[in-house]
Structure formats: C-alpha cells, structure tokens
Structure 1
C-alpha cells in the first residue's frame, strides 16, 4: 500500500510538471506519442523542460534530488539542456533535530555525549540528504584537545531509499521496454549504479576507510590535505574526523585577496586528479565546490582540502592503461589510434571500419585543440562523442561513469579558477611520464617483485616432483623417461640462458625506454 501511495504521488508530480511530455516523446510506439498530445491539452508548460524536471525532482524529496545529481553526470543519456539544469541540483535539506543526532551518537558508542566529547556544538554546520555535520572537541590518547567534525547519519534513510529505488527500478524497466534507445542506454544499470552509491553512503565506516586510503595515497604529494580519521569514534552511523579549516574553493575573490596563486591552484587540481586516477586508481569522485576548500594557514597555505568521501571511484590496471593510451593519443591527435583502441577494447563491434570511426572522432575533437579552457567545454566534447557513439553502437562503460563525472567537476573548477588554463597541455606531461613508467623497467621490476613469492614457492619443489614422477614411472616406459630427461636438460639450459641474458635484457629495456621517450617528446 505504501508503495502504491508513493507511486501515485510520483505520477501526480510528473503530470503537474508536464514531465509526461518529456518521458513519452522518445517512446517508439505511436499510440504513446499520441497520448502525449492528449495529456498536455489545457496545461501551461511555459518553463523549459529541464527546469520542470529539476523542480519535480526537488519536490519528490532528497533521494530523487540525489538521483538527479547522478543522472546529470550521464551526458551520454541526456540532451544538453536537461543535463545542465540537473547539474544545478543542490541538497538544500533542512537539518534534523539535534536531540536525534545526540541520541544516535550515544547509542553508537554506548556513552553519554559528555563522556565522548569535551564539547559538542548542537547546531549543525552542514546538512544533506544522507547526513549532517556538527563540530566538537575531543581529547586524544595523549590528553590533547582536538577539534573534530562529527558526521551523523540521517535516521530512517534505509527504508526510504529502498522504497524509492524499487520504484525507479520499475520505471527503468518500462523505459527499457518502450523506448527506442532503451537497451543501449541501460536504464536498469544506471538505477543499479545509483542504488550502489546510496547504500555505500549509508555506511559511514566505508566513508572513513575511503578517507584513510586517500590520506595515505596523498601523503607524499604535498598538494592536498585529507582529514585524519578517529577510528575509535567511528561507527556505521557516526564518523568523527579531524576538523579542517579552509575557504570554499568557489570564493575566488577571497582566495586571491589572501594571496593564493590562483593559476597554480588550477594546475594543482589537475595534477591531483590525474595522480589519483592513473597512479593510484582510487579517486575522490564527488569533487564539487562544496567538498573542496583551500587552506590559508601558514603551514599549509594554498593547499587543497578534500571533504566528503562517500563516493570514490576505482580503476583496474587494464582501465588505467586503456584510458592513458586514449588520452595520449588524443593529445597527439592520433585519432586512428583512438579508433583502434575502441575496437580492441570491445567498446564497438569488431566489424567497425577504423577509418570511419577515426573520421568521426577527428570531427568532434579537432576544433577544440590549442584553445584556452574558457573557449572549451569538455562536457560538450564528451556529449558530441557520446552522440557519435550512437552511430557506431558504442556500449556505455559503467566503470567509467564516475570518472566522467569527476572530469566534468575538474573542468568546472578549472574554468572558475583560471579560464586561461590549458587542460590538455597541463595533463599531457603527467600522462606521458606515466606511460613511460608503464612501458619501461620499473613496470617489469614491479611485476617480477609481485610474482617473486610464487616463483620462490614453485622452483624448489620442481626437482623433487620430477624425481618422484620418474621413480614411480614403469621401467618399461624408457622412451618417455628419456623424453623427460631431455626436457630437464632443456630446462636447465633455458634457466642458464635467462640467468646470463638477464643483464642484456635489462639493458635492452633501458634502450627501449629511451626510444619511447624520444618519440613522445
């Protein structure tokens, strides 16, 4: 019954905002398109369709607002006007009662609030759809007082999320069965991806672990600060971290007045992003201005401060190598190689003509090179690439959705900080260096070191295994015995060749790295 009531509410909001016209216009059945014209009679639909969709999502509550935020990153699925409007969605959610927050903390740690904190500010400093944040002071193990931020999960979120996601899943099934582009756009996968994001954000221990991992990865970079996690005060519903003091990155005039080098700040943001993606394969995937600050303290002046680690992205070694090769090929304007990579990866059918795909990619990308960022919309480049992908039946890659979202965030930050920033030339040296590391001796040494324990375990057992096999073999099978002995001799010669040729092999790799460096630079 509750699901039916919620479904009726959604239908009423859809009709009130005229979204039926938007939803039915792409359906392949003529009678559905005819129904659109009948339903819209007598209603005033003066506002743009993107604005009506955004307002409808806001009226349906925080879960639908967050779904709109996630959907805004899928510019492969949406027209530009709708994607731009959804990108304006913000979590303007009223805070919940501070007494409930205190009760949640006391229940999690089974102590009174006075025993846990030296002081606790009952007025929240931030409130979103999933949680809200309070400032507090704790005493650490050394007896020092430390300022902390306490993130408390909004109560009763799991049943609300499950109910709304179930409805979204049902509607995605309708879209997939009725829309002409339904199967290619994978609406069920989009909803499943959204479901995963939400449930990950409901576990604040997971967020604490993400923060700890990013902090460890970024220690040697000296460009970004990640808050320390207080593990003894972390729970699935409560996350206590070091309080960070900075200026929101979108307050550019204030940063400039304080003496921050704004162009350097823009370049540092690009460096942080590509380091997290290609070096670590683990990146902050929610880098909108509300989660990024800049430190003005003398010890860390001009460094980024990252907050909110509920959503992070991960990439495999295969993903990283494929993406790096694509980026380098783009920067070198080697569109044929980009087309070949798409075919080799299976993103497009093997029967695709390389020349046709190369020409399509060149048409999209060539006009944007050698221009400052203020004249380039990376979102528009991606959108045109996605539109081109329909012609070639490119399959959407779910594992890269967060990367696309974060790349658009980086573009927005870069444009706001330094409109003259050349994203291409800033990223190219980093990617070329990364590719050299992947092709040269460092990659070989890492792989040999990783496999060394397995080799050490297997090699000592080989003589005994061979001896046992020969001992239990029937005596009349002399031909097979001689073959095994000959194979053992060949193995010994091979090991000797590898041993004596090792130095020459390493020297050859060094020469290969030098050749690659000359070609790239």
Structure 2
C-alpha cells in the first residue's frame, strides 16, 4: 500500500514538474548534476510556485494542510512561493453519514438516538481531520458534534512517513537543504497533526479559552459538554452567528465594522500578552460574528485544534519590542535581540539597528490598506538571516496569527491603524507587569505560600543544618576511609617487600 501511495506521489510530482524544480536547485551537488544530464527537460505554462500548489491539491488533504502550514514559514520560503501556498483551500468532501453513526456508536457503546435527542444526518462542515454535525442533547440543548474521520490516523502516519522521505531527499539534493531544515519542518507539522487527532485535547483548549474570556463582551467561546466527549468525538455548544467574511450582510445587520476590526486587534493582544494562550488558526472560516442584541458585534471562536502558548519571558520580550517599534526606538529593539541571545554576541548593535530601521520606518503613519505586514515580516526575516538570527519556533504560530489579523483588518476596515490600536493596550500591560501594581499582585499571589511556609522555617533550617553536618561527617568519614585504605596499601607493600627481602637473604645464606 505504501509503495502504491509513493508511486502515485511520484506520478503527480512528475506530471507537475516537481522533479525539475528539485533538480534546478540541486545542480551544485554531484548527484543532482548527474540527474540533470540524465533526465529530459520539459516546458510548463505555469510557474514553479503554481505547479507546486496544484500538486499538493492533487495529493489530498494532508499535503494541502502541509502546504498551508509551510506558507506561514516565510522565514524559509521565497515570497512568491509563500504567497502561492497561502492560496491552498482545504476543500474536503464529507465522509458517509453511516461511518459517522458507526463512529459515535463505537464511542458511546449504544445507538446515537439513545445519546442525542436529535442528530442531523447532513454535516455542516467538513475538513481534512474531522467533520461537524448539529444535534441536541437529551435536555434539548443544541450542540455541535465534531467527529474524527475514520482511519485518518493511519492515513496521516503513511503520508508523514513519505513526507519525511521527501524531506530527506530534498535535504541531500538541494543546495539550501540544510538551511531550510525540511525534516524539522515535517516533524513540526507532524506534531501539530497529532495534537489535532485527539479531540479531548481540542476540547481542553476550548474550555481554557472560554475560561479566559468568561463574561467578555469581545469574544464568545462555546461551552464543552464533557460527558459526551472522547478522543474521537467533541460535543460543544452550538453557536449562532454569521461568518466574518460576509461583510455586506454584517453591515446590513447593523454591525459596526470599524469597532469590530479594533475588537479583533484587542482580542489578539489580550490572548497573547495577558494569557500567553492564543487561537493560532484565526482564518475567516473559524470566526463568526453575533448579529443579535445585546451581543451584536461580538466575535465567536470556532475550531480549537491549533493553539499557541508563550512563556512570561516571551511575553515580556514581545511587549518590549512592540513598544520599541511603536516609539521607533530601533536601538532598543536591536539590543533586546542581542540580550535574548537571538543574534550572535559579536553582532554590532549599530549595524543591526540600521537594518531594522530600514525595514520598519516606511510602514509608520500609514493606514493598514497601504501596509503589507507579510512583506514587512519577510524583510525582517531576510534581515535576520543576514545577521544569522535564529527564528524562534514558539513565535512561528504567533507570526501566522498576526498575518491572519492583518487579513481580517483589511476586510473589515481598510483604514484601521494597527499600531495606534495596539499601543495603548501594550502600554497598560507593561505598566501592570513592571510597575507597583505588578509588585502588589505578586505579593498577593505569593502570600498564601508564605503563610504556609513561614511556620516551617525553623524546622527546615534545623533540617538544613543537620543535613549540612551530616554531609560534613560523611565527607570526613570518606577522607578517613581513604587514608586507612592508603595506609593499608602501604603496609601491604612494605610487608611484601620485607618478605621478598627475607627470602633473598635466606637464599644467599644457603648459597654460601
């Protein structure tokens, strides 16, 4: 079966000229130059970037998903290729309803009509990993039921094995193979796919995001019904709203698009800097907007398979850099990169500062419609490569999410100024983190621990002293033991020497 899949992949690749794309970049290697002379050259009407996108679409949902993920790695790809891969659409036909019913019965151990009071046979959404049906719980609560595709784990395992083989070949043949790290990219993609295959993990992500935005007027997150969830099934509250891409309908419903665009920016920065836990797949298909009072204009989040996390150090670094960008303090930006160890220690700060200024200065004081953050990020990545900067893996999804925010902002309000919208929020966050409020908050958070620890201090101190004395005694005993062993060895050596001497003297006397 794997050989048949490999043969089909090879046929699709040859049909779209992917072999020539690889060999064009492999001419500097010995085997690449030999293969170029051996294989015939062909002409294609489409560009290499278009041919790669068409090939991935032909190979199926896993390869489409891989291309989508790869399009976010603009630190690795040429801009033309990244733009083309971003056009990939995950159009996957639904699997038969009979398989969905069988999957649910296997999960619950009883027929579906005994679990739900209503189950809609026609799916409302279908993707590469799962599909969604509407239904109702026994008490009448309307729910969305997400069901994992049958056999998807085996399909993913086979395709990931073949992707790893392809990455190995590219790494050997392509001149830039080692710099692009194709095997590491495939491993990163495999990790995200494995996370999506466990719907209990997605349910936990949904529950955490809902808790973070409880009672928020900005973002609504569905409730998870844990009694009905399992590794292959996720049951959550059905949400009512319009897709955010239906801008004309939203305007007719009385939604303030300018306020909606600003709310989207605030949601993004709240997730990133307040919580360090953010929705990393915010494309228009995963976002609805409530059009009914009293929550008109509220965002509704869907699909929680891909979430990003940031440490306190990451958040502080990002906030300092964002604020420095807003204030055009490029020296501070350069110094922050140097202090974090993201650029080599021998990098000249003034040169790095000048390079960052050349990238960022042109984008200020301009409306969003005249700024391409994708191109700005690309130029930053090119600058980073020139200074041998390592792109941090934990920020890759953040970069992708920022690009999604840019796309949403362009659709809703082309005049939106992302910088002016975000700057007050970041300044408030920095004051909360660095000022006296932060000190009071930390004291309040640690006070219960202090109350539990203070009574134990005398005992812990006594135990520490005893442990210290015990260690000293053990050290002294080990020294004495070493001395005794040394004396024994010396004594044994002297005794042996004396015996040899006596035997030698006896031999001489007898010989006389």
TM-score band w.r.t. shorter chain: 0.7 to 0.9
Change (3 A) 1:471 1:40: closer
What is the CA distance between 1:4 and its match in structure 2? Answer: 3.0
CA-to-partner distance for each residue in 1:291-317, whole Å, 9 max, x for gaps? 111111223211111111111111111
Normalised by the length of structure 2, the TM-score is 0.87
The structure-2 alpha-carbon separation of the partners of 1:137 and 1:349, relative to structure 1 and needing over 3 Å to count, comes to same
1:115 to partner: Cα distance? 1.0
Q: Deviations over 1:253-287 (max 9, x none)?
A: 11111111011110000000110011001111110
Q: Any unmatched runs of 5+ in structure 1? A: 475-521
- Counterpart residue number, 2:167: 172
Q: d(CA) in 1 for partners of 2:203 and 2:184?
A: 27
Residue 233, structure 1, aligned to residue 197, structure 2: no
Aligned CA-pair RMSD: 2.1
- Residue 61 of structure 1 corresponds to which residue in structure 2? 60
Seen in structure 2, the aligned counterparts of structure 1 residues 473 and 56 have a Cα distance that, compared at 3 Å, is closer
Give the 3 Å change call, closer, same or farther, for CA 463–256 of structure 1 in structure 2: same
Contact kept in structure 1, 2:100 and 2:147, CA below 8 Å: yes
The residue correspondences of 1:174-193 to structure 2 (distance < 5 A) are 174-193=169-188
Distance in 2, matches of 1:365 and 1:36, equals 43
1:23 Cα deviation after fit: 2.5
| Superimposed CA distance per residue, residues 161-196 of structure 1 (whole angstroms, 9 cap, x where no aligned partner) | 111112222332333344443333332222111111
SS of corresponding position for 1:85 = helix
Sort the Cα spacing of 1:172 and 1:246 in 2 relative to 1 into closer, same or farther, 3 A: same
- The answer to whether the Cα contact below 8 Å between 2:210 and 2:220 also exists between their aligned partners in 1 is yes
The equivalent residue for 1:112 is 111
Q: Counterpart of 2:487?
A: none
Structure 1 residues 465 and 294, CA gap change in structure 2 (3 angstroms)? closer
- Per-residue CA deviation, residues 407-436 of structure 1 (Å, 9 max, x unaligned), is 100000000111110111111111111111
Aligned ranges for residues 182-221 of structure 1 at < 5 Å? 182-221=177-216
Counterparts of 2:382 and 2:446 in 1: how far apart (Å)? 43
In the other structure, the counterpart of 2:242 is 247
| Structure 2 alignment gaps of length 5 or more | 470-512
Distance verdict in 2 for CA 1:384–1:32, change over 3 Å: farther
1:459: which partner in 2?
Answer: 454
Change (3 A) 1:41 1:230: same
CA contact (8 A) 1:24 1:32 kept: no
Asked whether the 8 Å contact 1:150–1:241 carries over to 2, the reply is yes
3-state secondary structure, aligned to 1:232:
helix
Deviation of the 1:465 alpha carbon: 5.4
Which of 420, 423, 446 in structure 2 is aligned with 1:425?
420
Corresponding residue SS for 2:45:
coil
**Partner residue in 1 for 2:282:** 287
Residue in structure 2 matched with residue 72 of structure 1 by the alignment: 71
2:425 matches 1:403: no
Residues 116 and 137 in structure 2, CA contact (< 8 A), matched pair in contact too: yes
Residue aligning to 1:299:
294
The change in CA–CA distance for 1:6 and 1:457 in structure 2 (over 3 A counts) is same
The alpha-carbon deviation at position 447 of structure 1 amounts to: 2.9
Name 2:495's counterpart in structure 1. Answer: none
- Alpha-carbon distance, 1:7 to partner: 2.4
1:185–1:396 contact (8 Å) kept in structure 2: no
1:450-484 deviation digits (Å, cap 9, x = unpaired): 4445434443333345567889999xxxxxxxxxx
- Distance in structure 1 (CA, Å) of the matches to 2:428 and 2:315: 14
Label 1:351 to 1:51 Cα distance change in 2 as closer, same or farther (>3 A): same
Aligned mates of 1:128, 1:465 — CA distance in 2? 57
Q: Which residue of 1 aligns with 2:7?
A: 8
Is the Cα–Cα contact under 8 Å of residues 75 and 381 in structure 2 kept in the other structure? yes
